Amino acid sequence: MSAPGPALCSATASTTDRFQTGVGPDGKAWQPSIRAKAGGKTLLNKGHLRDSLSWLATAQQVVVGSSSQIARVHQVGADIRAQNAKALHFVIGGRDVFVQSVHIPARPFLGIDAPDQEEMAATAIDWFMQRF
């Protein structure tokens, strides 16, 4: 694997930046989490999800993804229901909360936005022009 070019760095940087901006690659703001409503950041507690991002480049493609078990849930959303207990248990604001189910809305953080596409196209054209 060769060192990432400028466009690759831009795409991975924009993915990381989404954890600060709270805006997905489609330009839509994420629905604020309970943490965000209390002054924190949505999808950014200790940074484990953001820090789980990785990439792999081949001659044909670049794949950016996450090794986190919770990545898919946050990317596409999910409904979580109590299965092996009477209720789900959370501590929110120092208080115990018990519920039967929780809806986690989709908050896409993986993907290519318009500025990424433009930079990747420019990088590909530059690469092509330098070689031919």
Give residue-wise pLDDT tens across range 24-81: 999 999 999 988 888 888 998 889 999 999 888 777 777 888 999 999 999 999 999 9
- Identify whether 101 is part of a domain: no
Residue 70 phi/psi, 5-degree rounding, is: -95, 0
- Give residue for tokens 């109590």: 82
- Identify whether 95 is part of a domain: no
pTM for this model (two decimals): 0.77
* Domain carrying residue 52: 6-70+106-131
- Identify whether 17 is part of a domain: yes
| Number of separate domains in the chain | 1
- Identify whether 51 is part of a domain: yes
* Nearest alpha carbon to residue 26 among 106, 104, 121, 103: 106
Q: CA-CA distance, 100 to 37, in Å (whole number)? A: 22
- Identify whether 75 is part of a domain: no
- Identify whether 27 is part of a domain: yes
- Identify whether 66 is part of a domain: yes
Confidence of residue 104 (pLDDT cuts 50, 70, 90): very high
- Identify whether 99 is part of a domain: no
